[in-house]
A and B are shown apart, each in its own frame.
Chain A
Amino acid sequence: MKVSQKALIVGILWVCLAGLPGILPAQTPPEEGFREIATLLKEQNNKLSGDLRRIQREIAALRADLDKPGFKEVFAGIGYIFGLFGVAAFVASRRKEK
Chain B
Amino acid sequence: MKSDYFVNLLLIFISGALINNVILSQFLGICSFLGISNKIKSAIGMGLAVIFVITSSSVICYFIYNYILAPLDLSYLNTIVFIAVIACLVQFVEMVIKKYSPALYNALGVYLPLITTNCAVLGVALLNVEKGYDLVESIVNGFAAALGYTIAIILMAGIRERMAHNDIPKSFQGFPITLITATLMAMAFYGFSGLV
A-B complex is real? no
Give the interface of A toward B (CB within 8 A). Answer: none
